[in-house]
Structure formats: C-alpha cells, structure tokens
Chains A and B, each alone.
Chain A
Amino acid sequence: MIGLLVLHLLIAGVMPMLGRRFGSKSLLFGALAPAAAFIYAVVVAPEVMAGSALITEHSWVPGIGLSIRFALDGFALVMVGIVSFVGVLILVYARGYMSDDKSAGRFGAYLVAFAGSMLGLVTADDLLMIFVFWELTSITSYMLIGLEDHRAEARAAALQALLVTGLGGLAMLGGLVIIGQEAGTTSMSTIVANPPQGMAVSIGVGLVLVGAFTKSAQIPFHFWLPGAMAAPTPVSAYLHSATMVKAGVFLIARLAPAFAITVGYWRPVVIGVGLLTMLLGGYRAFRQTDMKLLLAYGTVSQLGFMVALFGAGVVRLAVAGTVLLIAHTLFKAALFLITGVVDHQFHTRDLRKLHHVARRMPWLAAAAVVAAGSMAGVPLLFGFIAKEEALAAALDPATGTAMAAIVGLVAGSALTVAYSIRFVVGAFFSAADEEPELAAVTRGGLALTAPVAVLTVLTLVFGLFPGLLDGLVTAADDSLYPGLERLQLAVWHGFNLALGLSLTALLTGWLLWRVPGLWERLGSVTGRLPAASRVYIRSLAGLNWLADRVTGALQNGSLPIYIGTILLTTIGLAAPNLGQAWTVPPDLVWALNPMQAGVVALVIVGAIGTARAEDRLSAVLWLGTVGYGVAVLMVLQGAPDVALTQMLVETMLVVIFVLVLRHLPRRFDRMPWKARQTTRVAIATGVGLFASLAAFLAAAQRPLRDVSDEMVRLAVPEGGGANVVNVILTDFRALDTLGEITVVAVAAMGVIALVRAGMPENREGLVELERDNQ
C-alpha cells in the first residue's frame, strides 16, 4: 500500500519534467501509477473478497499512539477500483484532450498526486491520516480547478472550492479529534466496531458530517461544485464526479453503521439533507443550458441520493448505495468525457447552439444515449439496477423507510429522467436555436474515444449481467455491516411496486421534459430566491472588509508604536511571574575578574552613548560597541561559539544599518513634544529594569542543571563531536534547527516578495492584471 502511494508521489514528481519534454504524451506515462494501483487491486481482490482485510501498519509517533495504518477491506476495494480504473481512463483521455496544451506536465503531476491522495484516503484506517489525505485531495482539487490560472474565473472558482471544502475539513478535524479522544483510539475500524457514545461524540459526529457534506457538495454547501466546472473537462470527470466528491459519501458510509442509531439526529439530518440535495440538484440541472453545468448539478443530485442511501445506516439501502456508487462512476464519467469530446470538436457546450451533433458523430451519440439512459434508470442499463435496488430496499418494511423519503426518491428520479433527456436531446438530436456556426470537425483521436467506449460498454455489460458484481458488492457491504449473506443482483424481479415506481419516475420525467418552456418559466420564479453562492460571496466580502478595518487599526505604520507595543506586552505578560521566583542567587559573584568588570563598563558606556547620540551614524556605532562588548563577555565566559555568532551578527547589523542610513536624514528628529519623549524614556527604563531583574533572578533558578551536564557527557559518544554547541544544533535539537532554517527560508521569500512588490515593473504588472480582469 505504502509502495503504491510512494509510486504515485514519484511519478507526480517527474511529470512536470516529462511534460516539458514530451508534451501530452507524458500523460500516458502518468497513467502507469493508477494502472499499478488497479493491478494491485485486482490481484488482492480474491483475498479481500474472501473477507480478510489487508492491513499495513507502521508505527509513526509511538509516544502518542500514532501509527501509519492502512486497511484494504471490501468497501475500500470498491473505491480503490474506481479511483485507479477511472484514473487510467482519464489520463489516456487527457492525452487526446490536451494534445496542444503546454500545461500537460503540470496537469499530469496534479492528477497523479490526486489519484495517490485519494488512494490513501480510502484505505487509511487512522483518523488523522484520513484527515491528511482528505486535505490533500482538497489541495490537488484546488490546483486542478485553477489550472488555467490566467483566467480570473478559474482562480475564483478554485478558491471557492478550497475555502468551502477547507472549512469543512477544519470542522471535520475537530470532529475526528473529539471522536478519537472519546474512543481512546484513532483507528477507524476499532471505532466503528466499538462506537463511543455520549454528548461529545454527538457533537464530534456532527462536525465530521459538516466535512462530509462540504466535500460531497450537499446543501447548503453544494454551490462550489458547479463552480468547479472551470477545470478542464477530464478533471471534472475524475475529481468532480467519479472520485473526490464521493469522499464525503464514503465517510458517511463508513460511519453510518456505528452512529446512525446511537447519534439521535443522524437519520433525520443525513437522509433529509441527502434527499433535499437530490431534489434541488435535479431541479437545477434541468434548468441548465451548459452541458457541463447540467452534469455538475446532476452530480450534486446523485450525491444527495447516495448520501441518503448510505446515511440510513441500513444494510439493504447501503447495498443499493454501493451499486449506485459504481453505476454513477461509469455513467457520469462517460457523460463528462462525451461533453469533453463535443467541446473539443465544436468549441461549444451550449445546448442551444449544438445542432444535430448525432448526424456527425453517431457513435458518440449512441454512447451518450446509453450513459444518460443509465443515469435516468432505463431498464437493461446499469443505473436501472441501482435504482431498482434502492426502491425495493426503501419499500421493504424491514428498513423502516418513511413515506416522505420514498416520495422524495421517486420525485428525484423523475427530475433525473427529465434532465437526462434534456441533455441527450439538446446536445445530439435538436436543431440549434440560431443559425448553427460549427467549427471544422476533425475526428476525435483514439485517446478521446476509447475511454468513452470502455465506460459505455461496462454500463451495458453490468446492466445486462449485474451478477458479475455480486461478489464485490457483497464484500463491500459485508465490511460495513458484518455478517451479510451473498447477494444476488438481478435485472428482473418480476412485476412489483418498485418496478412500478421506476416506470412512474420515467414517465413523469418524460412529461416534465415535454412541457414546453417549463425550465424558462421555472428560472424566472426561482431566480429571486437567495442562492447559497451569494451568501458565500457576501461573507467573503464582509471578511475582507473586517480584515481591512482590523489591519488599518493595528498596522498604522509607526515603528515606535510597534516596538513600544511589543516591549510593553513582553513586560506585561512576564513581569507578574517574576514575583514567584523572588530569590537572590545563593552564590552571587559580581565579577570573576577585572577584565569582566572592564568589559561591562564598556558596554554600559556604549549604551549610554547610543541613547545620547544626536545623529544616526554615531548611534549605530555606539550600538555596535554594546554588541561587541557582549561578545567579548561570552569569550571570557568560555563560550566561543556564542561569541562568534554574536560577533558576526553584530557585524552584519552594522553593515546593513550603514546601507539603510543613506536613505535617512543624518540627524534624529527633535522630539516634537516633551510628553512623547517621556513615554519613550519610561518604556526604555522599564524594559531595562525588567530584563536585568529577570536575568538576576533566573541565575537562582537552575533546577534542571543535569540536562546540560547530560548533554556534555553524551556529546562525543552519541553525537560524535567535541563541540557540544554544534552537537546540540545538529543532533540533540536538530529538529529545532531544521525548523529554524525553514523559518529562515520562509523569511527570505517574504523579504523578496515584499521588496519586489514595491518595484516599478511589478507595479505595472499589477495594473495590467487588474485591467485584464475588468
């Protein structure tokens, strides 16, 4: 498992380089990563389906019980299969889709990195690791939505997706920590097998649900998904329909068996949100004219469906959910890829502009009919099996499904039928509203068509022979609800109520589509309702306004005020604690030798000189005296390393001061008012007194002397060096050093960015950018 993740990481790492050299051909190499994952899944499938989850465990931070733990059980196997299989198809497809794109390498890198993150997410068995992979998918999604980073729209959409899913991720982290604390373990499988209970757990589960809802675009967080359609179509097909958006569904499916009953609000909330999302998504999808947006809202709707099915926490409904999960992946990915082909060949995705595309591309139209038929739940296609399973399970009194839920399910299915018909007819079988202006049609290459064909054929095969998936679906739901008997998926269950409802949905959907001008009229009614995306934009603007105000109040640009604030805060926070350590050092010696006293006198003179200096240059030189004096003190105390460092930093400071001074007036300003000067003197005296007192008292407080003795003792045997200071830096406290040099690097970037932002050429660039965006 870890090997596969490392492989993804490595391939993602070399993709930009390959992309520069081989262009979009490099994407075929990138496909090796998900291909390896798929092969692995196929190889281990028999073992996993026999009921034994594959567990990989490495201790990570044993001190706090953290471990790297992956568990590949039946349900994870389904997800791994989806992620890797669709991943291969998408990368092959992208090779044709991005054939003349320079960003192919970058695209491939993000896509492979995403595939790896997703793989980690579905197999991780540790709450914190789930969170890490969860966030990684959010970040790669952000990168991919904003791939065309010269477009302001793409950048805004990327940011929106990141903020919404990031906010959810934050809530989820809080929830996972609470659940982990209450359960006393961070192992997902242990928690699900033995769920904790209580008020805190209820809150934790609620927070995790918020995370799942944002990721899977459930109401009221659904709006980021249509926005994410700014990404290239292969990305939409992969992340925003087949895999990433299913992460929330996946998490709900995992948690439902444990918490659907014990957490009181679970069922009404999860099923309610799922069904509402299904209805709203379906209704919105029906109104779209852009093929991608239609599919995006369709995805929102189907995700709601899955959330409701898995969220019920009942095994029969979860089985239907699993079938839907697979079916949806096949038909929705196919539909997106078909949209991509249409867009690629005709340079439009507008249902009103496309003119009888079926005449030009009969095979593509056939694939679209199959995929959309599956989405609508037409018999003999895979989607029908999923819908039949769902309806049959909901109607089964044993599952205790409420009447309202069944009505919602049928209504949602009817809307699905309506927008499916609209999609196929609008894109392939209708005349354009205006005079058609079609671009020159070239034949889509094999790379574009083969993935569509594979997905379509699978939809047909599984639709006709659903029994092929019996074992996989059984294993998946057995890992969620242990003790499941082997299922038998079938096309024909006889004339029953479920079939009747299915047909009702089909008929109602067709009628909805037939009512002329219905979606235009609906649009004019609902356009006035507040949209969630508007709330997002308002709150973002509000946040910016608040940040401006706060910054304006705190960062007023006066250096004396900044320094004064810092100094006074230090004293204010630390001074009260001095009282607790009110002891005079027992063995107090004022000076070890005359040399020390002399140097200290020099430092004092330097300090006074600095304060009294009239012009800036002499102040700097006086200050230098203080610094070098302290360095000499260090030498006398036998700390050559510290002295050396002090000396060098002092030198650097003097040089930099001199460089800066050339831009400042030679003399200090006269103090405008007496009061201000008094304040400064007071602050300076206070800080001086405080620092001296603190040093004096600290000398009496050495309870942990043995730590330094220990370090001196271990320097040579453990660190292999006679210079204790260096051994501390490079071995005992090396992690601190690593942290510090990271900070140094970050600071360097900050300095460069700040200085360069003010330079003329960049100012012009910014103005241009703003003009472009208007």
Chain B
Amino acid sequence: MSRLDSLILATLVRTIVRLALVFSLFLLFTGHNAPGGGFVGGLVASIALVISFVSRGPAIVTRFGPLTPEIILGVGLTVAALTGIGGWVWGEHFLETAKTTFTVPVVGPVAFTTALPFDIGVYLVVFGLAASILNTLGRVEEDDSL
C-alpha cells in the first residue's frame, strides 16, 4: 500500500539515500566549526532511512550486519559517556574537551578535539532511535496487512 512501485522512483530514492548518508557524515565531521554536528547529522541519516522505508515498504528490517538498531543506540550512548569519563581521567572535569593537532600525510594538519567522539555518540543515538522505531513500526504494518 505504501510501496511506490516505480523503477525510476526506486532508483532515485536509492541515490538520494546514499547522498543523504554521505551528507550526514559530512555534517557530523564539520559540525564543530561549521553548521552541523552529531544531532543534525543523525537526523539527516534518519531521514534517509525514512525515505527508504516509505519507498521500499515496511517489510525492510534495518540491520547493519550484526548490529541491531538497539545495539547502535547503546553503543552511541556508551561512546558519549566514555568520552565524558575520558575528560575525568585525562583532564580535570567530566566531559572536559581535549584538543590536539596532528599531521596526516597528503591531507596536512588535522585538528582533533574530543568533541568529535562525543558527537559520534550523539549521531549514533539519534540514528539508532530512528532505525529502531522504524523497525518496530514496520513489524506492526506487516501485521496489519495480513
């Protein structure tokens, strides 16, 4: 019923989803200095999921290898919390940001702050939330269509 049975649309959607996922990563990594960040990035990735959900029907169950959405969510929360504890261990306060700059061959100097792993945690939580809700809703839709 919600399936949009059109080859053109299906192809288009696939392209859009991939673009959106890449864009979400871009937002995640540039977020500390330009608009973006973990939360926004996670939202973009979630929207990519929603789009494929709408086009390919509720039957798709989002799994990423052995990772269920719930695991992704948990990993995200853990990463964020561990970043905080790292601030304790190496700095003075919980969640204190540490900064460093190192040089990557070809790319040049790269500035790194611990805000990034924290943001990755946020990204994973948001993404995991969307994926797990979609999975759950998808199963309900399947039941309804029987």
Residue of A with least CB distance to B137: A755
**Contact indicator B77/A725 (Cβ below 8 Å):** no
Tell me which residues from 478 to 494 in chain A have a Cβ below 8 Å from any Cβ of chain B: none
B115 CB contacts on chain A under 8 angstroms: 719-721, 726-727, 730-731
A61 CB to nearest B CB, Å: 10
- Which residues in chain A, 703-753, are within 8 Å of chain B measured between CB atoms? 718-723, 725-727, 729-731, 734-735, 737-738, 741-742, 744-745, 747-748, 751-752
Nearest CB on B from A181, distance (A): 26
Using C-beta atoms within 8 Å of the partner chain, give the interface range for chain B.
Answer: 35 or more
CA of A741 to CA of B2 in the docked complex: distance in angstroms?
31
Q: In the complex, what residues of A have CB within 8 A of residue B37's CB? A: 641, 723, 725-726, 729-730
- Is A659 within 8 A of B2, CB to CB? yes
A756 interface residue, CB < 8 Å from B? yes
Choose among B35, B80, B125, B130 the residue that contacts A641 (Cβ–Cβ < 8 A): B35
Those of A102-161 within 8 Å (CB) of chain B: none
CB atoms of B95 and A738 under 8 A apart: yes
Q: Are A741 and B40 in contact (CB under 8 A)?
A: no
Which residues does B use to contact A, with CB under 8 Å? 1-2, 27, 31-40, 43-44, 46-47, 50-51, 54, 70, 73-74, 76-77, 80-81, 84, 94-97, 99, 111, 113, 115, 118-119, 121-122, 125-126, 128-130, 132-133, 136-137, 139-140, 143-144
A760 / chain B contacts, CB cutoff of 8 Å: 143
Q: Which residues of A contact B (CB under 8 A)?
A: 640-641, 644-645, 648-649, 651-652, 655-656, 658-659, 662-663, 718-723, 725-727, 729-731, 734-735, 737-738, 741-742, 744-745, 747-748, 751-752, 755-756, 758-760
Shortest 7 CB-CB contacts between residues of A and residues of B: A721-B32, A730-B115, A648-B43, A720-B99, A720-B113, A640-B35, A734-B95
Give the CA-CA distance A651 to B40 in the complex, in Å: 12
Contact A726 B36 (CB under 8 A): yes
What's the dominant secondary structure at chain B's contact region? helix
Contact A645 B50 (CB under 8 A): no
Q: A730 — which chain B residues lie within 8 A by C-beta?
A: 32, 37-38, 97, 115, 118-119
Known A-B contacts A652-B43, A655-B54, A747-B129; A721 and B113 likewise in contact (beta carbons under 8 Å): yes
Report whether A644 and B122 are in contact in the complex, using a CB–CB cutoff of 8 Å. Answer: no
Determine the distance from Cα of A662 to Cα of B141 in the docked complex, in whole angstroms: 11
Contacts of A659 in B (CB 8 A): 2, 54, 137
B92 CB, nearest partner CB in chain A, Å: 11
Q: Write the nearest CB–CB distance from B140 to chain A, whole angstroms.
A: 6
Question: B residues within 8 A CB of A727?
Answer: 32, 115
Q: How many A-B residue pairs have CB under 8 A?
A: 144
CB of B64 to closest CB in A, whole Å: 16
From residue B103, how far is it (CB to closest CB) to chain A in Å? 17
Q: A641-B35, A723-B35 are known contacts. Are A652 and B46 too (CB-CB below 8 A)? A: yes
Measured CB to CB, the closest approach of chain B to A716, in angstroms, equals 9
Q: Which residues in B have their C-beta under 8 angstroms from that of A735?
A: 84, 94-95
| 17 more A-B residue pairs beyond the given contacts A720-B99, A729-B39, A752-B136, with a C-beta to C-beta distance below 8 A | A641-B36, A641-B37, A721-B113, A722-B32, A723-B34, A726-B31, A729-B38, A729-B122, A730-B118, A734-B118, A741-B121, A745-B125, A748-B70, A748-B129, A751-B136, A755-B136, A756-B139
Whole-angstrom distance between the Cβ of A291 and the nearest chain B Cβ: 43
**B136 to chain A: which residues have CB within 8 Å?**
751-752, 755-756
The complex places the Cα of A246 from the Cα of B99 at a distance, in Å, of 49
Closest Cβ neighbor of B119 among chain A residues? A730
Q: How far, in Å, is A489 (CB) from chain B's closest CB? A: 47
Contact A651 B81 (CB under 8 A): no
